[in-house]
Homo-oligomer: A and B are copies of this chain.
Amino acid sequence: MDERQQIGEYLSKRLAELGVRHIFARGGDDSPGIYDLLGRSAALKVINTRDEQGAGFAADAYARTKGLGAVYVASGPGALKIVNTTALASAEKSPVIVISGTASFEEQGRQQLGNRQSNALGMQKRIFEEFTVAATVIDSAETALAEIDRVLAAALRYQRPVYIELPSDLASGLCPSRHKPLIDKELSDPDTLQEAIDETTGLINAARRPVILAGVEIRRFNLQKELCQLAGKTGIPVATTLLAKSVIADTEKFSMGMYGQAIGLDKARSSIESSDCLLFLGTFVAGPHSGFATTEIKPNASLYATAECISIGPKRFENILFHDFIKGLIKAPISPRKLEGIPRPRAPRPFLHGAEGEMVTVAHLLQQINALMDDQTLIVADLGGTLIAAADLFIRHTGTFLSTALSASPGFAVPAALGAQLANPTLRPVVLVTDEAFQMTGMETSTIARYGLNPIIIVLNTQGYATGPSLVDAPYPWHFSKIPSVLGKGIGFIVATEIELEQALLTAKKNTESFTIIDVMLDRHAHNRLRKKLGKHGQIAKPGKRPPATGKKQD
């Protein structure tokens, strides 16, 4: 038997070799198959979330943090519940391996007879092909290993999700144990690469004030250091999009912080918009309704370089790998400039003692978080007001900020904290989430409790004053601080004043044994300020009706 291995074993082994240590799932399938094999693998741990949606978001955050993530779903309802999370991973470039167990082909035929919500006609694969760069149904032991190699290579090459469907009989099917994985060996065409670098060098040297707008691909392709080298050597300042926040640390002297239509510093924004040589490096362009829009300035870009296309002015360059291009620019004869007088992100002020009788505002909350953050803090921001608020946080280290700034899929943050902390246990997530978004997926705190993780979850409780799109009806208020009593784990706080917040944050920081949830009651006043900031960009719509009064802390 030492000459043979099970196909499912091979898949587990390859995932482990590529750095995956945890697979997110929500239980197994009717028939034993790949789920059971994954569970038996010594190198992998199966993490069962409460719902498949949570598994999907967690795997995405894991991939963003560790470079590769994986989610297992049973066929049918299991797989169909992660269509959205896979679409998110696709849009924001997160390499998630979606593994769907299915019944054997023979059994699928019988289920089809049974008119079951069936997969026999390849329905699942058709759907996942919409959001993946490679998809396969393993249908023979002969081709299985090559197919697995092909699909995994695509995930790494494009940093987007892929789909592997593995019928139960094939999961345990035997294949040769000596197999050299096919690794993508794509190379840049040297002449085209040189031409693109020369052209870019010329552009930059001729420009009065070049600016780099760095995107999320810098992180996906692990080019943070190279970007810093490039900026340091050339003296070109760097701003990032919101999705890419933390691809460079705000402590870097060339950092101008965030750029977006409604976020970041005004000075940085005007500096970027007036640049005569705007360099998009690995940047996706956010839509016009996001409030973080970059659409308006895209046509001005002198250079637009991503892993999928490099264009300089009207010219497109094919067959160039993104990292070769970035590394090439570092060595190119770009004339160095002085980094002087560029707008810089505001450094955090020290932690304040809460003022007696003062109600918490978003600005105060953010300042306190900013002050409390340390080298281990990972900010995970959900949507709506929390993301807007979090945009201003000062980033000390690369890779310490997660959000779905492009796709706007609410409910990401709590399961993302789970995924990210498992991916890198030295990080301590601070989750910023609205009441509405918590109500979607926040009960994954159960999974967080199960695995002994310790994020600090801060619920911005707008008490019915939605900061997202319009609501005909207000959300029903929850007593978030009581969730630990349902789970038998965690610490909960309800906070309305600055003094209460101070105490809650300091206790949370010390409580490394479990998660902490802090329900921050924002008053109407605070909401209105947030609304004013973004209202004109369509991000905040009219408030819903007030919910029925049930908590003592409501005004």
Give 9 A-B pairs besides A27-B470, A51-B440 with Cβ atoms closer than 8 angstroms.
A25-B472, A27-B436, A31-B289, A51-B411, A77-B84, A77-B410, A117-B406, A118-B287, A479-B487
The answer to whether A53 touches B81 (Cβ under 8 A) is: yes
- CB within 8 Å for A449 and B469 given contacts A116-B91, A287-B110: no
Chain B residues near A28: list those with CB within 8 A. 469-472, 541
Assess whether A187 is interfacial by the CB under 8 Å rule.
Answer: no
Bound-complex Cα distance A25 to B407 (A): 19
- CB within 8 Å for A479 and B485 given contacts A28-B541, A298-B113: yes
The answer to whether B288 touches A111 (Cβ under 8 A) is: yes
- CB within 8 Å for A471 and B114 given contacts A83-B127, A408-B76: no
Contact of A30 among B47, B469, B551 (CB under 8 A): B469
The answer to whether A27 touches B466 (Cβ under 8 A) is: yes
Chain B residues near A476: list those with CB within 8 A. 446-447, 449-450, 487
Chain B residues near A329: list those with CB within 8 A. none
> Would you mind naming 13 contact pairs between A and B with Cβ atoms under 8 Å apart?
A32-B541, A53-B53, A77-B87, A77-B408, A107-B289, A111-B287, A114-B295, A116-B407, A127-B127, A447-B476, A479-B486, A482-B485, A485-B486
Q: Which of A47, A81, A88 has the most CB of B within 10 A?
A: A81
| Contact flags A470-484 to B (C-beta < 8 A → 1, else 0) | 111101111110110
Chain B residues near A439: list those with CB within 8 A. 50-51, 443, 446
Bound-complex Cα distance A87 to B116 (A): 10
Assess whether A293 is interfacial by the CB under 8 Å rule.
Answer: yes
Chain B residues near A479: list those with CB within 8 A. 485-488
The smallest C-beta distance from A291 to any residue of chain B, in angstroms, reads: 10
| Contact flags A445-472 to B (C-beta < 8 A → 1, else 0) | 0110110000000000000001011111
